[in-house]
């Protein structure tokens, strides 16, 4: 199965959802959330601890009724509002945290259609496997890919410098002096980046700018490709064999439909509804020995010979053309 076909059938899970920064009472968190029409999965971290909650079905409806008894809405509408509160915060949305021993309770106060809307995430401590699958492995993959891209960009810039140097050797000059650039040196560039003020700002905001829109898309692409590469090969081959059985026609059916029965050497198939022929009654002549039947048989044989000749004539020129092509 090709990757394009696999992507059409694949349903992304929580691991494919990118991390997003969120600030709750002056504290920076990273979170990711996977929504369906009747459930959500939330994973959140303060870069030290990780908490997780999955809520679906009746549990989601019970919490909705308990927190918002006057609100009547479908689970899908409630989940849409929860997503808006987390991802598109407004002045009407207020978030607070109530840390407990092994829990993280996030309180949400907002409005939905002019009415007060309250929600509460009750997250438990996430296990180590979930942390590795959703945080460590993807971030290492992103670092590796960004390093590879950085090397490719250095090669492109160095090639551009060679091209500009060739133009200058032929007497070419820039129309304006301020757009002229110096020759790129990778070690000097790296030193300048480390000594710049922007580097210090990035260190202070550790984690907040690591998942910008571009990096979120990179995260999504890496985890989608990772899921494709780690897919079960057995299931893949089973689907391909099923598709081959559906699409590949049998030789017998092609041959039977392509040529008449006399050329294929097979007797025509009789319908199950055809009744056996009755023996001729007394006084009537046999149809097998009638002159009309004999002439019909001769006519059919002549037609078959004509078809064979035509097929032979069509194949002969093709053979000659192949010989000439060599």
Mean pLDDT of the chain: 81
Q: What is the pLDDT of residue 165?
A: 93
Residue scoring higher pLDDT (178 or 90): 178
Q: How many residues does the chain have?
A: 326
Q: What is the pLDDT of residue 59?
A: 95
Q: What is the pLDDT of residue 321?
A: 46
Residue scoring higher pLDDT (237 or 182): 182
The first and second tokens of residue 243, run together, are 């598709």
Q: What is the pLDDT of residue 235?
A: 56
Q: What is the pLDDT of residue 274?
A: 47
Q: What is the mean pLDDT of residues 178-206?
A: 89
Q: What is the mean pLDDT of residues 34-63?
A: 94
> Residue 242: is its pLDDT beyond 50?
yes
Per-residue pLDDT tens digits for 260-285: 555 445 544 444 444 444 444 444 44
> What domains can you pick out in the chain, each with its CATH number?
3-127 (2.170.210.10), 130-231 (no CATH)
Q: What is the pLDDT of residue 322?
A: 47
């Amino acid at each position: 199965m090709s990757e394009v076909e696999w992507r059409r059938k694949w349903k992304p899970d929580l691991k494919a959802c990118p991390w997003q920064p969120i600030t709750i009472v002056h504290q920076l968190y990273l979170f990711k959330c996977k929504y369906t029409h009747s459930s959500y999965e939330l994973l959140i971290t303060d870069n030290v601890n990780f908490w997780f909650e999955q809520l679906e079905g009746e549990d989601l409806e019970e919490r909705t009724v308990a927190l918002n008894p006057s609100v009547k809405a479908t689970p899908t509408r409630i989940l849409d509002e929860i997503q808006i509160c987390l991802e598109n915060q407004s002045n009407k949305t207020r978030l607070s945290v109530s840390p407990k021993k092994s829990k993280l309770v996030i309180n949400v106060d907002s409005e939905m259609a002019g009415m007060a809307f309250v929600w509460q995430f009750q997250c438990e401590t996430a296990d180590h496997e979930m942390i590795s699958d959703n945080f460590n492995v993807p971030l290492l993959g992103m670092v590796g890919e960004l390093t590879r891209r950085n090397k490719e960009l250095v090669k492109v810039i160095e090639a551009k410098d060679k091209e500009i140097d060739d133009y200058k050797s032929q007497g070419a000059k820039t129309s304006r002096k301020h757009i002229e650039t110096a020759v790129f040196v990778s070690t000097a560039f790296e030193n300048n980046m480390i000594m710049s003020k922007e580097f210090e700002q990035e260190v202070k905001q550790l984690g907040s700018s690591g998942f910008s829109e571009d990096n979120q898309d990179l995260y999504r692409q890496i985890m989608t490709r990772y899921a494709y590469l780690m897919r079960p090969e057995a299931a893949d081959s089973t689907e391909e064999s099923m598709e081959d059985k559906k699409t590949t026609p049998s030789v017998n059916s092609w041959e039977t439909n392509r040529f008449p029965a006399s050329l294929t050497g097979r007797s025509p198939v009789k319908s199950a509804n055809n009744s056996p022929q009755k023996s001729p009654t007394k006084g009537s002549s046999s149809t097998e020995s009638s002159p009309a039947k004999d002439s019909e048989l001769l006519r059919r044989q002549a037609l078959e010979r004509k078809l064979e000749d035509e097929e032979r004539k069509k194949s002969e020129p093709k053979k000659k053309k192949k010989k000439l092509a060599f």
